Structure 1
């Protein structure tokens, strides 16, 4: 990548970061291109040159945000933490995300999630699911997950939940329940065992 391309890419990332910060704090509807331009220290024309419209910018911010979340998730999975420590970190991260995201931006994310099925299915099947199975296999090896529990059952449970939260009447009310849902996914109804506390 030459200097021009690098500067162009850096400018695009700075626009995405500025827009993301504003969307997380204030939502999508209340933020104008002028406010994003001011935050990114670029002109409105520059934003339109990169993204054509606010709609396209919002979509690109959404994809950028997903990549950030994916990298954060992979850092946890690739760490030297034990299985329970990884689960606690995943739950903590989900809780932090839920606490720091504007309801309007969250609703936009979930609407994209439920309508752009091809992108999400590919990301889920090719990236997230294999890593989750690796995590649960680690949990089985470390005796934190029942070794008799099949990966097929785990996948079925995750996929069923995944399909359910794509429904509009569900994703509109799920944000405040994020921590409880993550606890259910990883600890079940019985809750954490004493040695994990």
Structure 2
């Protein structure tokens, strides 16, 4: 990559990051290229040259964010370590990612952009689910996970949790209650009758 290409890549990355940051507080329909250009300190023409339209820019920003999040998830899940730590990390990563794009914002983006919806679905199917199934199988083999837990059951449970994760997160952060967090962790890992 020559000097011009490096500068172009840096400018493009700055525009994508600015757009993603603005999506934390603005609805996509409220975003304006002029505002993005001002905050990113680039011209509107530069944005149009790189992305063509506001919708394409938002699409690219969200797709890039998804790619980075999944890549981080893959790297961590493929490392050695206890299953409990991996699941805790997975939950923490979701908490961190919701600080960038909330589940409600992701739902609105998916509803507006069928291509993003299909991309998330495909990436989940091809990259995330196989890692989770592998983790469950490994955990059952080494005794960290009960033999009664099926990969399908775990995936249904995780999917249900993710659908309501934003609500759980709001409850926990509003109360700042470590007892509640400990209780939820215990229920997740051991059930209501299980013992550590």
In the alignment, which of 157, 167, 170 is matched to residue 176 of structure 1?
167
Are 2:181 and 1:190 equivalent residues in the alignment?
A: no
The 1-side partners of 2:39 and 2:145 are apart by 46
Which segments of 5 or more consecutive residues in structure 1 lack a partner in the other structure? 166-170
Local SS of the residue matching 2:34? helix
* Structure possessing the higher relative contact order (Cα contacts under 8 Å, 6 or more residues apart): 1
Q: 1:116 to 1:27 in 2, by over 3 A?
A: closer
What does residue range 1-197 of structure 1 map to in structure 2 within 5 Å?
1-101=1-101, 105-111=105-111, 116=116, 118-151=118-151, 154=154, 157=156, 161=159, 175-177=166-168, 187=188, 190-191=191-192, 193-195=194-196
User: Which TM-score applies when normalising by structure 1?
Assistant: 0.72
Local SS of the residue matching 1:145? coil
- Alignment length (residue pairs): 182
Q: For 1:14-63, what per-residue CA distance to the aligned partner results, in whole angstroms no more than 9, with x for missing partners? A: 11011111112334233321221122221111001111111111111110
The 1-side partners of 2:103 and 2:27 are apart by 7
The answer for the alignment partner of 1:168 in structure 2 is none
The 2-side partners of 1:87 and 1:97 are apart by 15
The 2-side partners of 1:119 and 1:100 are apart by 19
Is the 1:83–1:139 contact (alpha carbons within 8 Å) kept by the matching residues of 2? yes
Is the 1:15–1:40 contact (alpha carbons within 8 Å) kept by the matching residues of 2? yes
The 1-side partners of 2:33 and 2:3 are apart by 27
Q: 1:19 to 1:190 in 2, by over 3 A?
A: same
User: Which TM-score applies when normalising by structure 2?
Assistant: 0.72
